[in-house]
Amino acid sequence: MLKLKFCGAARTVTGSCYLIETDDAKVLVDCGMFQGSKTMSELNYREFPFDPTTVDAMLLTHAHIDHTGVIPKLTKRGFKGKIHCTASTVDLCQIMLPDSGHIQESDVEQLNKRNTKRGLDPVEPIYTLLDAMAALKYFSAVDYETWMSPAKGIRAKFWNAGHLLGSASIEVEIEQASGKPIRILFSGDIGPDNKLLEQDPEAPTAWDYVICESTYGGRDRFERSLEKRREILAAELKDASARGGVLLIPSFAVERTQEVVTDLVYLMDHKLAPEANIFIDSPLANKATAIFRKHAHEFENGADLAKAFASPLVKATETVDESKGLEHFSGFHIIIAASGMCEAGRIRHHLLNHLWQKSTTVLLVGFQAGGSLGSILEQGEKNVRIMGQQVAVAATIRRIEDYSGHADGPELVQWVKERLPIAKNLFLTHGEEEGQLAMIQDLRDVVPQTKIIRPALDETYDLAGDTATLIGSESKPRIDLESVAKPDWNNDTQSLIIDLQEALKKAATDKDRAVIIRRLKRALVGSEESALPAINTARRRPYRARGFDES
């Protein structure tokens, strides 16, 4: 028997988690947090689609939270096996998982204060700081390109994926009583060409199955050199400076922040962009920077990174009071804060304080999952709600794709070409529907279309035959598959509130406003019989798990 269950990152970018099951063992590959809409994030609260106590081991591709973020929940639920990953991934997880636990505790504490005033029951975080600390004892470092055996009948080898410090594609061989082992490659997240710090991704050829990420499937960012990327960033800095206000950069704290700061300081030192104070408002980013400096010798441009963070222009904030104090700065300055999708962390406070100002610039430097605040801003919405408050968006919203840690469409196709031949099937994961369908078209001359599979969440495939066979799910899917990676009812609710407030503001008289309210009330009363059960269900829903640093 050989089964593969897709417990996450199936037709969505986040929540990476795959379960390998044989007659002798169960091994997880990743155990990540879902991010994006409220519907997706609530999956983090639900029970795993497997029994954690029966899992023998985990193979971990890298440290981003969408690949690691529910590991403390897994160990809390009874997983006792080893978590095998590179030494650099161990180092990063030692700061990222406790930070995740701390943020969840802090957010839930604030929510419970509001719930108490509303007469609602308190809620619990997915896990706590102490849970995250307890999970760290299960981590075990492995070397690149060295065979190891996580469980009976299974061996694995890690290859540099070029995505993040310590990131890996994982080669897995599974013994078969009837013949040669079945060879599977889990891509993890694949890095792009011309990344500032990482080397190009590596992995062998000739597989039975390849599980490949597809985050930027179908999208050609057009290969640009480091110099060209810096030229584009310099133009954005000049424009932001001309507006005279703050430049907000929502950024993943680990590696993305370090890359952006390195380029900012380089441009300023070489008089290629206006000089400004650069505030890193992320305790996690500051801790990660210390790890990156420790591993600077592993990077292609490690010396540039070390020089940048020694610059007097770069200033780190630690405390909440220091973060709040940034609101009082005027003129052109730069604030870099997590999270990269604007779904949690200090960036939301800065957006609340500055989005309404025409002098503000928001520069997006990473992927924005569907339904996230970053995605909504990217789409050009003129009114958004942040932490229960409506904010008019007068700021200029800009985007640079060159900082993505993911290969783009042509690079993904090239990566697949370099893995050929693929004897049985290519699974596309870690991507949304539009990108995956486009990637399938781009692969039409590389892999037969009949060999490409887009697994859905919680689907299980039998891999023991000549080709993968869908054998279904042991239980009802945890989510309506039509809701995966799309804006949900919560996004619609926020939009409705904004539309109502705008309609009331535009109404000519109080009488007109009263008519609008009466019509809305009649609509609510008319659907009361069906609406009330839904409302009661919503009140019982757990707290929304926030997105942290992922890809």
3-state secondary structure 404-446: CCCCEHHHHHHHHHCCCCEEEEEEEECCCHHHHHHHHHHCCCC
Among the candidates 482, 501, 517, a domain finishes at 482
pLDDT at residue 211 in the model: 98
Residue 546 in this model has a pLDDT that exceeds 90 = no
Clarify whether residues 52 and 152 are in a common domain. Answer: yes
Region 267-283: what's the mean pLDDT?
96
Backbone angles phi, psi at 518, to 5 degrees: -60, -40
Give per-residue pLDDT as tens, 158-211. 999 999 999 999 999 999 988 899 999 999 999 988 777 788 899 999 999 999
Lowest mean pLDDT among 132-136, 427-431, 460-464, 486-490: 486-490
Same domain, 409 and 267: no
pLDDT at residue number 31? 98
Q: Identify whether 169 is preceded by a cis peptide bond (ω within 30 of 0).
A: no
Q: How far is CA 158 from CA 8, 145, 408, 467, in A?
A: 21, 5, 22, 25
pLDDT at residue number 537: 44
The total domain count for the chain is 2
Q: Is residue 461 part of a domain?
A: yes
Query: Which segment of 259-263, 368-372, 457-461, 464-468 scores lowest on mean pLDDT?
Result: 368-372
Assess if residue 509 is contained within a domain: no
CATH of the domain at 286: 3.40.50.10890
Handedness of CA 532, 533, 539, 545 (dihedral sign): negative
Statement to judge: residues 319 and 462 lie in one domain: no
358 Rama sector, left if φ>0, alpha if ψ -120 to 50, beta otherwise: alpha
Length of the chain: 551
Q: What is the pLDDT of residue 525?
A: 76
Q: What is the pLDDT of residue 534?
A: 46
Q: Read off the pTM.
A: 0.81
Residue 370 lies in a domain: yes
What does pLDDT average to over the chain? Answer: 89
* Predicted pLDDT of residue 416: 98
Label residue 166 left, alpha or beta by phi (over 0 means left) and psi (-120 to 50 means alpha). left
* pLDDT bucket at 498, cuts 50 / 70 / 90: confident
What is the reported pLDDT for 444? 96
Would the pLDDT of 501 be above 80? no
> Do the domain assignments include residue 492?
no
pLDDT for residue 527 is more than 70: no
What Å distances lie between residue 425 and 27, 408, 445, CA to CA?
Answer: 20, 21, 15
Residue 527 lies in a domain: no
Instruction: Quote the pLDDT of residue 472.
Output: 66
Six-digit token string for 95: 């700061």
383 and 409 both lie in a single domain: no
265/315 same-domain check: yes
* 397, 409: one domain: no
The residue out of 374, 403, 432 marking a domain boundary is 403
Mean per-residue pLDDT, 44-70 = 96
Q: What is the pLDDT of residues 347-403, one digit of tens each?
A: 999 999 999 999 999 999 988 877 788 999 999 999 998 887 889 999 999 999 888
| Domain contains 538 | no
pLDDT digits (tens, 9 = 90+) for 399-444: 998 888 899 999 999 999 999 999 999 999 999 999 999 999 999 9
Task: Give the whole-number percent of the chain exceeding pLDDT 90.
Answer: 64
69 within some domain:
yes
Pair 31, 115 in one domain: yes
pLDDT over threshold 50, residue 63:
yes
Q: Do 246 and 295 belong together in one domain?
A: yes
φ/ψ of residue 320, rounded to 5: -65, -40
Higher pLDDT, 46 or 222: 46
Q: What would the mean pLDDT of 252-271 be, rounded to a whole number?
A: 93
pLDDT at position 6, please?
Answer: 96
- Indicate whether 409 and 421 sit together in one domain: yes
Give yes or no: residues 156 and 58 share one domain: yes
**What CATH code is carried by the domain that includes residue 58?**
3.60.15.10
Boundaries of domain holding 214:
2-220+405-482
Does one domain contain both 384 and 304? yes
Residue 316 has pLDDT above 50, yes or no: yes
Q: What pLDDT is recorded for position 368?
A: 83
Residue after which a domain boundary falls, among 403, 427, 462: 403
Could you tell me if 29 and 157 lie in one domain? Answer: yes
CB count in 10 Å sphere of residue 399: 15
